[in-house]
Each structure stands twice: as C-alpha cells, then as structure tokens.
Chain A
Amino acid sequence: MSGFEPKIVGFLCNWCSYTGADLAGTSRIKYASNLRVIRTMCTARIDPTFVLKALMEGADGVLICGCHPGDCHYVEGNYKAMRRFPLLKMLLDSYGIENERVQLEWVSASEGRRFAEVVDNLTEQIKALGPCRVRTAHELDMAER
C-alpha cells in the first residue's frame, strides 16, 4: 500500500524516554512524524489496556519506551513493564493482531538520536505491515448485516 502513513501512539516514561525525546528536539534530530506521544511517569503505569485501547481507536502501532534496565527512576518499574510485555504480545496474537505492531524499547535521557532511530524503524515496520484492522464487536455486527 503506497502512501500509507500509519498512526502510532507512544507511551513514554517521564524520566528517561520522554526526556530523550525532548533531547532529540533540542538537538534538532529529524524523524518520522507518525508518532503521538502520551507521557506516563513510569513504564510500570502503562496498563496493557492502554495499548489495546490505542489499537481499538485506530492506531496502527504502539511504542512503549522506558529507562534502560537498571536505570529506572523508580528503581524497577521498567522490569514490571518488561514482564507484562510478553503477556501482552500473547494476547495480541490471540486476537490476530501482528504482535510486531507493539514494540518495547529502552531509551535513556541522553539517547536523543536513538529515540529518533527507534521511531523511524518502527514507522517503517508498521508501513510494511499496513493498516491495523481491529474491529469492535459493534463494528463486526454491522459488517455482518
């Protein structure tokens, strides 16, 4: 599908990744404009339902970014996110959603360039996958009629 511009929602922790994203800005590093960032204090706050909600609302991909393991502002919040992530992927598989649409990456406050690369790579990956087709029960009902 040519010209497909995916919508991607990013959940970024306040201390490392959001700051890293800000650093990409102050360093004027350019990257794809498909990401819409939502800030949480820690990746541990990112409820899997946030990810599902984003996909239901029409996101084609979701990025979760937190501090590198061992560097969490809240000691170990990112480990909690890390453990939830494989379960979330299993859930996506069972719903028939390609689990590559959801990515977990570690970006520190000093990694502005890395943040830009992560966004660019994920955007390319989602472009290759094409639009995400999640339908609510209501939409399915409507489609069947």
Chain B
Amino acid sequence: MENHKIGVYVCNCGTNINKVVDCDEVAGKALEQPGVVCAKSYKYMCSNPGQEMIVKDILEQGLDRVVVSACSPRMHETTFRKALTKAGINPYFLEMANIREQCSWVHTDHRAATDKATSLTKGAVRRVVHHEALEKRFVDMCPATLVIGGGITGLSAALELAEAGNPVFLVEQSDHLGGNLARVDLTAPYLDSAREIIRERILRVQANPNITVYLDAKVTTVDGYVGNFKAEVQPKGEASSTLDVGSVIVATGYKPFDPSVTKVFGHGDNPNVITSFEFEKMLRKGNIVTDKGKPPKYVTIIHCVGSRSEEYHPYCSRVCCMTALKYGQEVKSALPGAFVYDLYIDMHAFGKGCEDFYKQASEIRTIFLMYQKNTKPDIRPAGPKDDCEMLLRVDDRLCGEEVDIPTDLVILMVGMEAREDSAEVARLVNISRDKDGWFIESHPKLDPVATTTEGVYIAGCCQSPKDINESVAQARAAAARILGKIAKGRLEVDAVFAEVNQDDCSGCRICNELCPYSAIEFNEDLHRSSVISAKCKACGACVTACPSAAIKGRHFTDEQIFAQIEGVL
C-alpha cells in the first residue's frame, strides 16, 4: 500500500463538542494511527483560520488525505472540500467524522463520548486512505422552471424568474390563480386589500410571455436531475405535455384546519359558529350577519383552533393572531356598535408592525380574554331574557374568574395544516416531510428553500405556516437560487456515481432491472452493461446486487466501507 500523509483536524465547535468530548485526546489518539502525520484540535474548523490551517498543512507538510472530525458532513462537507481544492488536492480526499450531532450532542458521559469520537475518527482515517480522486462532472442547465402552485408564493416566484427572461411553467390544480390569499379580504397589520395584492400579481403573470399557466392541471411525473428535469403536466380533459425544466419550485401552500370534522365548538351543527375563512367571505361581501340575517351585536373570536393543541396540531400557525386583531378592526368599522371579544391563549405579535397593530386593537376596545391551553371555552344557547344568541363560558386567566360572554357570532381562528396531497407531492419531486407533513428544507437556518433533491426548491406555507411577506421572500429566494444556476449555464454536480468495469461484467443484466432511474444500458453487441453517469444518482443498489462485483460505487466502494468498519471497531 502506498504511503499516505493524513492530517486529522478535531473541531471543538466552541464548546459544543469540547464540553463532552476531550478533543485533545481524540487528536492525540488519531496521531497514533498509521499514515497520520499531523492531528490538531482547534476551536472552529469551519472558520477561515480553521480552513486556512488545513490549506497551510497540505501545502507545507504535503498532506494527501484529510479527516475533519466535527459536525455532520451534511453541514460542512462542502466547506472542507473547498479547502482541499484551494490547497490543490482532490476534494474527495476528505472524510468527515460526525462527532457533534451524533456524539457530543447526544451523550453526557465524557469517557464514553470521547471513546466514541476516537473510534469514529479512526474509522474516517482508515476510510480516507482508500479515497480516490474523482473528477468534476458538469451538466447543462435548462433555464426553464416548473412552479407547482399558483398562490401568492408560486406567482411571486414565477414573476421573478420570468421577468429575468426565463421560461416558467406555472401549474395550478384549481381553476384559478391566487390560492388561499384570494379568499381573504384585508391583510394584517396594514389593512391592505388582499385582492389588490393578488390581482396585481395575476395580471402580471398573465401578461408575461415567458410564463405558461396550466389551470386545472396536475404534475404527474418529474424525472431527471438538476438542470435536466422532464415533467409531465396533465390538464383536466386534455392531452398531457412533457416539459423540459432545469429546476422545480414547490409552492403548494397549505390547507385550513377543518373544525367541522370533529365538530370543534359545534362547528358544522351551530350555524353561528364559523371559521375565519367563512368570515372572510362575509367581509368580502360586506355583509356580516348571523344565520337569521341580522348583524351581530356580540362577536367572539377564538384563537388557536386546531393549532397549539395536544388534540390536533402542536405548532403555532403564526398568522391567526394578527388576523384575529384584523377582524376586531373590520367588525368595529362595519358595525360601530358591536362588541368584539378576543379569546386568546398567548398573543403572538412578533412581526414587523404587529405590536403596534395589537395596541390599535386595544384602542378600538376589542375586549381581550385569555384562556388556558388545551381547554375549550364552552358555548351554550342564551336564555329568553338575554339579548344575545349564545353564552360562552371562559375561565379568564386575566381576571382569574369564570365569565359568561354574550355572543351572536363565533369566529374560529383555524390554523394551517399540510395539504392532504403533501405525501404525493413529496414523492413526485423526491423530498421529505416532517412529522406534521410540512416539506423539509435542506438546512433550517442556512439553506431554507433548498431540499435534499438538488434543483428542487420549496417556498411558502408548504414548508411550514408563514405570512404573506415571508412566503414572498421565500419565493424570491428560491428564484434567486435558480437564477444563479442559470447564470452559470453549466453546473458542477457530485462526482459520485456507479461505474461498470467492462472486463468483469458478465452481461447477466441483473442491474438493468434494479436501477430506479433506468441509468444502466445494455450493449447487445458487447454483451456488457454500462452506467449512464448523468442519470445515475448513486444509490448503490446495482453495486450491491452485481454477482460479479463488476460495479463500483464511487466514493462508497467496498474497500472504503470495509476499512471504515475496521476503523470504528
């Protein structure tokens, strides 16, 4: 075996790793490993001085392999690969050991955690010796984008891309553009008209020659890879079209929580208990009435219906508090003599201008009452002497007493939930969902609109509840990511894929059927299989299945994994 010069760098991550793992000891033990010529423990390896240290050691000590024991490779593998490139060695000569997410953050025993970090590092040292130089792979970038969902997010993303001169295919499942926002009257906290916001976007989309809108349509398949996807769009009752796109933006939005299913607060049975969206309809008509056609004297708004509850969804839907305050303003403006009761659990007024909006709501005499999480205020019919339809009993935490509130109309602030088709959409574009059904981003803080599938982006409420400004910001962020790729013209993609050693291939064709991407072609004349590298996504199914061991999974070879197994044990 050739002699390698390996450098090992153990990151302290401030105190994140060092407070549980003895990083100096891990570095010391690494130095005892064959081939390791330097091993260092340092405060922040990902910092500029940290990376410079690696570059300097490669240049001065002639290192040809590098191990970084730090956070998850999902976090900083790219960062350190760049450092290797900068120092003039192949970026694939790097291996990371995950001693933060999978060690210091999950263990408390210092001895056990240090031993584990030591063996994970040893596994990486053993593995990296077998790493091979992999050449860069480039693919063309198709400038067209498929945007799934025609709400405020999808419309905004489409405009951003199309106005920069690129083709956009905007696919909407319903028969109109606008999404949930098209059902809203005014917006919080500045009371702008939702109709105006959305109409302006729709008109611009319709007028833009770069945008093709498909209404009443579904995306049935998305195949291919970043820069080179093929999507099949099926408009209802028409022939389907195949679209060549370089990127996909998923902007499928959310579904309002439906309280009628479990009859929350009698919704579905009691016609004067309505959801926020049903109330928006009244507001848009300019006609706030009870089921008897009379304007209500008492309006009660209940927050967190379906949200922040053990029974339904644990998360906060984020927009309902400000929408509730908006209702107070809209009711008072339409019916100046009416009383508005606002029953909240906690008032979340975190956005720009929202605290002022909360103050305004108090000034116009919205009456606030605070109820306990996981309890439900009780609604009962009013007696003949009461001047209202219903009485609502609430254990008010502000005054510490149970009080009866007169009510004619109850508005339930229904939260957001993941759409029923979210699992189907996730499978379509190959992304993941979290426990609540929202799509998972590549990194919650540093990469919020990218996903684990390169070229597929998520924006707006399909990722988690958010307000209009945040949705638009994400839409434009996703568009910006794509515009960056379009500007490059050609993309560098991971050099990891499978390859068939033609001399060892017996032509049995077992791998042909196994490949989920049809990336293996069979040459009838030579009686050999080979991998179309651009189509290969490196799952390794064929590598494992090949009875002749003729297929090599680059960067995940048998030798590399065997060496790592030896190292960690």
CA distance A22 to B105 in the complex (A): 9
- B101–A21 CB distance below 8 A: yes
Residue tally, chain A, CB below 8 Å to B: 49
Q: Which of B98, B123, B440, B565 has the most CB of A within 10 A?
A: B565
With an 8 A cutoff between CB atoms, is A42 at the interface? yes
- The residue from A9, A50, A74, A109 contacting B569, defined by CB atoms under 8 A apart: A9
CA distance A49 to B109 in the complex (A): 32
- A40–B540 CB distance below 8 A: yes
With an 8 A cutoff between CB atoms, is B556 at the interface? yes
CA distance A71 to B102 in the complex (A): 23
Q: Which residue of B lies closest to A57 (CB)?
A: B569
With an 8 A cutoff between CB atoms, is A30 at the interface? yes
Chain A residues with CB under 8 A of B72: 18, 22, 25
- A40–B561 CB distance below 8 A: yes
What are the interface flags for B422-462 relative to A under an 8 Å C-beta threshold, 1 for contact and 0 otherwise? 00001100101111000010000000000011000000000
Q: A16-B432, A38-B123, A39-B73 are in contact. Are A45 and B569 (CB under 8 A)?
A: no
Within 8 A of B (CB), among A67-99: 70-71, 73-77, 80
- A33–B116 CB distance below 8 A: yes
CA distance A80 to B103 in the complex (A): 30
Chain A residues with CB under 8 A of B109: 33
What are the interface flags for B90-127 relative to A under an 8 Å C-beta threshold, 1 for contact and 0 otherwise? 00000000101111011111001101100110010000
What are the interface flags for A46-80 relative to B under an 8 Å C-beta threshold, 1 for contact and 0 otherwise? 11011001100111000000000011011111001
Segment at the interface with A among B261-269, B320-328, B526-534, B541-549: B541-549
Residue tally, chain B, CB below 8 Å to A: 51
With an 8 A cutoff between CB atoms, is B516 at the interface? yes
Chain B residues with CB under 8 A of A74: 516, 537, 539, 541
Minimal beta-carbon separation of A129 from chain B (angstroms): 17
With an 8 A cutoff between CB atoms, is B553 at the interface? yes
With an 8 A cutoff between CB atoms, is B562 at the interface? yes
Minimal beta-carbon separation of A123 from chain B (angstroms): 12
- A110–B433 CB distance below 8 A: yes
Q: Which residue of A lies closest to B568 (CB)?
A: A36
CA distance A112 to B138 in the complex (A): 35
Q: Which residue of A lies closest to B561 (CB)?
A: A50
With an 8 A cutoff between CB atoms, is B285 at the interface? no
Q: Which of A22, A59, A70 has the most CB of B within 10 A?
A: A22
CA distance A29 to B108 in the complex (A): 10
With an 8 A cutoff between CB atoms, is A126 at the interface? no
- B556–A76 CB distance below 8 A: no
Minimal beta-carbon separation of A70 from chain B (angstroms): 8
- A30–B108 CB distance below 8 A: yes
CA distance A17 to B352 in the complex (A): 38
Number of A-B contacts (CB under 8 A): 140
Minimal beta-carbon separation of A119 from chain B (angstroms): 9
Minimal beta-carbon separation of A76 from chain B (angstroms): 6
With an 8 A cutoff between CB atoms, is B564 at the interface? yes
Minimal beta-carbon separation of B18 from chain A (angstroms): 15
Minimal beta-carbon separation of A22 from chain B (angstroms): 4
- The residue from B74, B105, B568 contacting A38, defined by CB atoms under 8 A apart: B568
CA distance A110 to B450 in the complex (A): 17
Minimal beta-carbon separation of B14 from chain A (angstroms): 15
- B565–A57 CB distance below 8 A: yes
Q: A25-B100, A30-B106, A80-B514 are in contact. Are A36 and B120 (CB under 8 A)?
A: yes
With an 8 A cutoff between CB atoms, is A103 at the interface? no
- The residue from A16, A41, A50, A75 contacting B565, defined by CB atoms under 8 A apart: A50
Minimal beta-carbon separation of B26 from chain A (angstroms): 14
- B432–A110 CB distance below 8 A: yes
- The residue from A29, A38, A77 contacting B516, defined by CB atoms under 8 A apart: A77
Within 8 A of B (CB), among A1-51: 5, 7, 9, 14-16, 18-19, 21-22, 24-26, 28-31, 33, 36-42, 44-47, 49-50
Minimal beta-carbon separation of B106 from chain A (angstroms): 5
Within 8 A of A (CB), among B488-516: 496, 514, 516
- The residue from B105, B426, B496, B538 contacting A28, defined by CB atoms under 8 A apart: B105
Q: Which residue of A lies closest to B434 (CB)?
A: A110
- A38–B440 CB distance below 8 A: no
CA distance A98 to B440 in the complex (A): 38
Minimal beta-carbon separation of B120 from chain A (angstroms): 6
- The residue from B102, B540, B566 contacting A22, defined by CB atoms under 8 A apart: B102
29 A-B pairs whose Cβ atoms sit less than 8 Å apart in the complex: A7-B569, A9-B565, A9-B568, A14-B74, A15-B432, A19-B432, A22-B72, A24-B101, A24-B106, A25-B101, A33-B107, A33-B109, A37-B102, A39-B73, A42-B541, A45-B543, A45-B553, A45-B556, A47-B558, A47-B561, A53-B562, A53-B565, A54-B565, A73-B452, A73-B539, A75-B516, A80-B545, A111-B435, A116-B106
Residues of A within 8 A of B (CB): 5, 7, 9, 14-16, 18-19, 21-22, 24-26, 28-31, 33, 36-42, 44-47, 49-50, 53-54, 57-59, 70-71, 73-77, 80, 108-111, 116
Given contacts A41-B556, A75-B430, 9 further A-B contacts (CB under 8 A): A9-B569, A22-B74, A24-B102, A25-B102, A33-B103, A39-B73, A42-B540, A80-B545, A109-B440
